[in-house]
Structure 1
């Protein structure tokens, strides 16, 4: 279970208390505030704070005194213009702070996005829980034969069972030794900051992650992509649901121009022009490498 009954009760208590405020609020985000949404087998994401909304983006772009809203249509059009022309500063006016519980190996991918403020659970000070990410059988896959950092077909039968047994047994054995090393039952005990190095990369950690909307959308463009590793993609997918309710105009523009759109090189754009004129273009006549041509064909479907 991602949350204990005590933790769930604490969240419900937080959600039961409201205060009057003059600050701008987003109704779509208010319904998500503090709620923990399960991810993987023991993880979750939850919003603990936020600032701004669609109107805040327009306010910053227009540098206006009020909310910045001329009309709903004008605001949506402005946001789409900003997104279409890669303006970033107005989107930086919105911020979100998330509480995330995730496996360490996912955290090491996540932390590569260096444009956020992070405070992680300290295994020097506290003892980590006996919680490990063990993939569901349908997510146990062999190495891809065409992509050095991707997955191929799912493992099956005895091989899948063997891998699951290794993952579970090795995780439990490592944690048993971790507990024994820091034991205080008549022993001096190894320092927690040293004992933690024996734990596997699938042990769960937690952090607070605060980021502005511009950098969050960059994170989501990469990590909610179909090519991203499944274990981080499911976190990004869950965050997308929250962002869609928080800043619906901005998220719709993001879906259209970033997630659903594509950037073409000058060479690829010239190939499109030639195709529109009725010319049959092949990889050999395109001026592209085999890899570029394969990606180009993928974009065109």
Structure 2
């Protein structure tokens, strides 16, 4: 288990001391509260706190839109209406705070979502643990020949073994030098804020990450997608399981309209209309670029 004994004790203490509350709670999320969901080889995601549930979204929407939503017959229908028409502010009434342990290179990709509050473990103040992300053999892949930011075919045989050996050896050697540089035995010892520069990007860091549901859905739409990098996608998948239990109606709408839906350009809509009218439309007559046409055909054939 990637948790330290101290963290495990904190979780046990928190779960053993429930407090009465008058605020809305989500029974599904209560089951996840404080528990760590293992991710990758040393990482995890756990819920520290949350605010709101499906009813909070509905409550905010009815305050905001009043009589304009009276034609929606039930709460789930209203939530689906909000998702369908991109009314985002009611979803911002729900928030979640996560404790995440993740490799530094994943954190650098994750932090590009600038709509959350983040507090990261400080390597200026504390010493990082000797924990590195080492991929499984089946997750080692060559550069994609069609996507400059993606993977292609899996590495095999001696090449895969050599890559794994380099990753393990280089990480261990870098950490040995890190420990040697910060040691004050027989020397002054280099400052931690300087010594950390020698650590590899696959070392693990930790942070608290607090975000509202609207921006969390945006994160999940991009990072739980099949085209996302595997190492961040597995974190997004773990969060999806938690959110599904937290706000089931909102997550169902998100799955339907965002994850399972398709957004069409004006040209795409026009091509569909022409096809339905019996016209044989090609890329040259569609008005789309080759890239747009390839994506269109990937969905509609």
Normalised by the length of structure 2, the TM-score is: 0.95
CA distance in 1 between counterparts of 2:186 and 2:173 reads 22
Which residue in 2 is equivalent to 1:67?
none
Which residue in 2 is equivalent to 1:163?
163
Which residue in 2 is equivalent to 1:24?
24
| Corresponding residue SS for 1:63 | helix
| Corresponding residue SS for 2:74 | helix
Aligned-pair distance for 1:276?
A: 1.0
Which residue in 1 is equivalent to 2:35?
35
| Structure 1 unaligned regions, length at least 5 | 65-69
For each residue in 1:213-261, what CA deviation from the matched residue of structure 2 results, as whole angstroms up to 9, or x when unmatched? Answer: 0000000001001111110000000000000000000000000000000
CA distance in 2 between counterparts of 1:58 and 1:285 reads 45
Are 1:288 and 2:292 counterparts? no
Deviates more, 1:125-134 or 1:270-279: 270-279
1:203-214 paired onto structure 2 within 5 Å: 203-214=203-214
Which residue in 2 is equivalent to 1:62?
62
CA distance in 2 between counterparts of 1:2 and 1:154 reads 27
For each residue in 1:65-98, what CA deviation from the matched residue of structure 2 results, as whole angstroms up to 9, or x when unmatched? Answer: xxxxx9x961000000000000011000000000
CA distance in 2 between counterparts of 1:218 and 1:135 reads 27
CA distance in 2 between counterparts of 1:92 and 1:129 reads 36
| Corresponding residue SS for 1:211 | strand
Deviates more, 1:33-42 or 1:273-282: 273-282
CA distance in 2 between counterparts of 1:110 and 1:55 reads 29
1:118-157 paired onto structure 2 within 5 Å: 118-157=118-157
Deviates more, 1:72-81 or 1:215-224: 72-81
Which residue in 2 is equivalent to 1:80?
80
Which residue in 1 is equivalent to 2:252?
252
Q: How many residues align?
A: 295
Aligned-pair distance for 1:5?
A: 4.1
CA distance in 2 between counterparts of 1:201 and 1:174 reads 11
CA distance in 1 between counterparts of 2:269 and 2:133 reads 44
CA distance in 2 between counterparts of 1:104 and 1:6 reads 22
Normalised by the length of structure 1, the TM-score is: 0.95
Aligned-pair distance for 1:278?
A: 1.8
Are 1:94 and 2:94 counterparts? yes
